């Protein structure tokens, strides 16, 4: 009897990655990942209910898969990839044009969630025009792409879905009319009013009604209308899919249980824990908050009390975000991240004053806005006092000449990791009978990911098989990346004998300013991972960039392998954090030297042998300085440390080492932003961290 194989993938009209990446805030990014994984899990479950068996990924121990049948689960991270392979008991149940169990399951799940959002937040403020737009966008948003055939037995079925894409049988959505969604620009916003036709006032009324409805449903006791802007900004006019993605975390816990079968994130009062995610300024401020709360705990507590006395706590998310190192004292770490940055406070106060001027004089709204602006001015004073107290306390116990920050850095990190050549691995695993072993190895890795990210004070967004997406404090990002790589190699290393090679993983790491739009940061991370680390550098690599509001400051890539020059020193990236600490400890390590070398020698550096390269760098480093014999050797060692980072390699071991001065520039950037100041000892139990 023939064995039938199904390859299935969940897709959206403009790509799953664009659906996930369409995000203004961390919660949006998480929501896209979670929904995609949940819908894929529902499709997999439908296959099993018809007597089929999931071959890859093997779902038995997956926490999201188990949550489908566990009403008591609190799991909230997407862990199921959007494509899978299964053995089918009855091929007759799969017919074209959406007449198959997977399509029906995805359609039912998505429409059920969308209807819950509609009933809760839109029904009372929408008319027939909005409902028509909603139905059009929701009903045909997700598609299940699948291929079914007899098992060839040689792994060649792994290419079926890729060939299926070339058929291009999906009918593209027509260009939608009128004003478009601010997140998914291909789609129309929901009000149906067109600003170009003079309907701006009607459009604004519709969205203000939605914001007021959100406030009534989520927090009817909110003191003022500013609460509404937390969930939906005044300038945001969204499509139906974008609004489902934005608002489903705000559904009541009981309603979420009805839709999902469990409460993702667990109940936090009437609402689930998935409503609460940190802001990017909060992620940036974590290292500073940790150090200040440990150095001057009483002053930190007084600052938090003063903020609450001023009644200016503009976001509720951070009150419920569990960052391990900030659990004690909780009240300091649970303030909104923007409160720790003088520039952000100043900008917000200025914006509030401007809005007050635009409001009718003497109205409650204008007075409320002015009162908030005055509170911010007072909080800025208190922040300056806290920074001075912290500076004095640190300086009193300080020795040496190292550079040090006393304010919070506005930079955080977004990390993406992805196993290399997974398709090749699976095809080979079929031929060797190792499919279950591959799936088991990826499961072991996935189990360790949440504990590792949490141990490094990060926030995990996605952990499915070989994929990871996480936000991290800047000072913790590199150590966490290297620890995750060790976990991946440890979990999949047992496959080496059967496959004939050792599995590897690549990473894209962005050090982003909190002022850069999150969607741009996500795109940069994907570019680094797919194009730079994997395609350009031969996989088994890490690509890093620094993203400022003005653009990309630096980009660095190297393989996770040793250079032939010093194989005992590990990969170049292993020394990046140490070099950053050296820059922080020794002010004379100037970036001017790095820029001068790049300007003077340029591409010529690539043509020098290693000995000559070291001599050139050393000569430039000591130029104009009179040094003793002992100091000469010290300075030479500093140059070697720089070369250990800047002399990069391809991940596949091909070609000659390439000298990238950007390694030194990124190390200096890390030193300026807090590495060597706020990076604390390795978290206890990080390497043993599990689920």
DSSP conformation letters of 164-184: HHTT--SPPPPPP-SSB-SSS
- CB atoms under 10 Å from CB of 364, counted, come to 11
- Which residue carries 């043509």 as its tokens? 607
Q: What is the pLDDT of residue 314?
A: 47
Strands, E assignment, 424-549: 459-464, 467-473, 505-513, 541-548
Q: What is the pLDDT of residue 311?
A: 57
> CB–CB of 56/84 below 8 Å?
yes
Q: How far apart are CA 676 and CA 337, in angstroms?
A: 22
653-660 LR contacts (CB < 8 Å, sep 24+): 653/538, 653/559, 653/561, 654/538, 657/563, 657/564, 657/565, 657/610, 658/606, 659/605, 659/606, 659/608, 659/613, 660/556, 660/557, 660/558
Q: What is the pLDDT of residue 212?
A: 87
Q: What is the pLDDT of residue 567?
A: 42
- Which residue carries 């000298």 as its tokens? 659
Q: What is the pLDDT of residue 70?
A: 97
421-444 core/surface letters (b: 16 or more CB in 10 A; e: else):
bbeebbbbbbebebbebbbbbbbb
First-to-last C-alpha distance (Å) of the chain? 41
Lowest mean pLDDT among 350-354, 394-398, 448-452, 500-504: 394-398
* Confidence at 335, pLDDT banded by 50, 70, 90: confident
Counts for the chain of helices (H) and strands (E), in that order: 25, 14
Q: What average pLDDT does the segment 271-276 reach? A: 83
> CB–CB of 434/424 below 8 Å?
no
DSSP-assigned beta bridge partners for residue 675:
none
46-50 LR contacts (CB < 8 Å, sep 24+): 46/101, 46/102, 46/104, 46/105, 47/6, 47/8, 47/86, 47/88, 47/101, 47/102, 49/101, 50/88, 50/89, 50/90, 50/93, 50/101
DSSP-assigned beta bridge partners for residue 555:
545
Is the pLDDT at 53 greater than 50? The verdict is yes
Lowest mean pLDDT among 171-185, 217-231, 554-568: 217-231
Q: How far apart are CA 655 and CA 662, in angstroms?
A: 19
φ and ψ of 134, to 5 deg: -55, -50
For residue 612, the SS3 value is helix
**pLDDT tens, 154-183?**
778 877 887 776 565 554 555 688 899 999
Is the pLDDT at 110 greater than 60? The verdict is yes
φ and ψ of 521, to 5 deg: -65, -45
Q: What is the pLDDT of residue 691?
A: 35
**pLDDT tens, 668-688?**
999 999 998 887 545 544 544
82-109 core/surface letters (b: 16 or more CB in 10 A; e: else):
bbbbbebeeeebbeeeeebbbbebbbeb
The helix, strand and coil proportions of the chain, stated in percent and rounded to the nearest 5, come to 55, 15, 30
Q: What is the pLDDT of residue 361?
A: 63
Q: What is the pLDDT of residue 221?
A: 67
Q: How far apart are CA 529 and CA 417, in angstroms?
A: 7
State the pTM of this model: 0.92
Percent of the chain with pLDDT over 90: 56
Q: What is the pLDDT of residue 511?
A: 98
Is the pLDDT at 316 greater than 70? The verdict is no
Q: What average pLDDT does the segment 502-518 reach? A: 96
Q: How far apart are CA 468 and CA 670, in angstroms?
A: 23
> What domains sit in the chain, N to C, each tagged with a CATH number?
4-219+238-264 (3.30.70.2220), 280-396 (no CATH), 411-688 (3.30.70.270)
* Confidence at 690, pLDDT banded by 50, 70, 90: very low
* Confidence at 689, pLDDT banded by 50, 70, 90: very low
Q: What average pLDDT does the segment 343-353 reach? A: 88
Specify the higher pLDDT residue, 97 or 498.
Answer: 498
The token duo for 70 is 């566990």
């Amino acid at each position: 009897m023939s064995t039938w194989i199904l390859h299935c993938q969940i897709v959206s009209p403009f790509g799953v990655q664009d659906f996930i990446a369409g995000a203004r805030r961390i919660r949006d990014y998480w929501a896209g990942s979670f929904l995609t994984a949940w819908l894929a899990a529902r499709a997999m479950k439908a296959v099993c209910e018809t007597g089929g068996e999931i071959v890859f990924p093997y779902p038995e121990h997956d926490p999201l898969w188990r949550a489908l049948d566990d009403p008591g689960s609190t799991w909230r991270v997407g862990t199921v990839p959007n494509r899978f392979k299964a053995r089918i008991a009855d091929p007759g149940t799969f017919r074209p044009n959406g007449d198959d169990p997977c399509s029906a399951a995805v359609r039912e799940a998505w429409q059920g969630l969308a209807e819950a959002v509609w009933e809760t937040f839109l029904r009372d403020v929408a008319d027939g025009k909005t409902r028509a737009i909603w139905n059009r966008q929701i009903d045909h948003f997700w598609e299940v792409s699948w291929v079914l055939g007899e098992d060839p037995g040689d792994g060649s079925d792994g290419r079926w879905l890729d060939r299926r894409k070339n058929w291009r049988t999906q009918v593209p959505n027509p260009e939608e009319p009128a004003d478009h969604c601010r997140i998914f620009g291909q789609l129309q916003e929901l009000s149906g009013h067109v600003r170009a036709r003079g309907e701006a006032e009607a459009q604004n009324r519709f969205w203000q009604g939605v914001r007021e409805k959100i406030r009534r449903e989520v927090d009817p006791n909110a003191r003022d209308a500013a609460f509404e802007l937390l969930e939906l900004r005044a300038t945001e006019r969204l499509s139906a899919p974008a609004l489902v993605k934005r608002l489903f975390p705000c559904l009541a816990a009981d309603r979420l249980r009805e839709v999902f079968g469990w409460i993702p994130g667990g109940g936090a009062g009437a609402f689930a824990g998935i409503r609460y995610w940190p802001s990017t300024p909060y992620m940036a401020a974590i290292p500073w908050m940790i150090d200040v709360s440990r150095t001057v705990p009483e002053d930190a507590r007084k600052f938090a009390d003063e903020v609450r006395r001023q009644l200016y706590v503009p976001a509720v998310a951070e009150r419920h975000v569990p960052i391990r190192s900030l659990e004690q004292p909780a009240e300091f770490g649970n303030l909104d991240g923007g409160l720790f940055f003088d520039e952000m406070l100043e900008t917000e106060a200025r914006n509030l004053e401007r809005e007050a001027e635009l409001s009718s004089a003497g109205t409650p709204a204008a007075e409320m806005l002015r009162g908030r602006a005055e509170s911010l001015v007072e909080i800025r004073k208190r922040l300056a006092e806290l920074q001075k107290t912290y500076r004095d306390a640190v300086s009193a116990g300080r020795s040496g000449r190292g550079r040090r920050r006393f304010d919070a850095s506005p930079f955080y990190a977004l990390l993406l990791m992805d196993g290399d050549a997974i398709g090749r691995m699976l095809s080979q695993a079929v031929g060797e009978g190792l499919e279950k072993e591959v799936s088991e190895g990826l499961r072991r890795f996935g189990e360790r990911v949440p504990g590792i990210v949490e141990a490094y004070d990060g926030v995990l967004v996605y952990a499915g098989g070989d994929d990871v997406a996480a936000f991290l404090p800047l000072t913790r990002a590199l150590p966490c990346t290297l620890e995750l790589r060790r976990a991946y190699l440890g979990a999949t290393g047992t496959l080496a004998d059967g496959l004939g090679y050792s599995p590897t993983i690549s990473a894209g790491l962005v050090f982003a300013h909190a002022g850069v739009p999150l969607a741009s940061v996500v795109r940069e991370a994907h570019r680094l991972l797919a194009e730079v680390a994997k395609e350009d550098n031969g996989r088994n690599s890490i690509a890093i960039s620094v993203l400022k509001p003005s653009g990309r400051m630096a980009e660095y890539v190297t393989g996770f392998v040793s250079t032939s020059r010093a194989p005992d020193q590990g990969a170049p990236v292993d020394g990046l954090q140490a070099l950053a600490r050296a820059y922080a400890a020794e002010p004379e390590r100037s970036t001017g030297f790095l820029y001068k070398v790049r300007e003077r020698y340029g591409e010529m550096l690539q043509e020098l042998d290693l000995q000559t390269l070291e001599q050139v760098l050393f000569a430039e480093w000591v130029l104009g300085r009179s040094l003793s014999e002992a100091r000469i050797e010290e300075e030479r060692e500093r140059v070697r440390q720089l070369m250990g980072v800047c002399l990069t390699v391809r991940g596949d071991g091909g070609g000659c080492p390439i000298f990238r001065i950007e390694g030194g520039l990124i190390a200096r950037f890390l030193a300026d932003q807090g590495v060597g100041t706020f990076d604390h000892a390795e978290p206890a139990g990080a390497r043993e961290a599990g689920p």
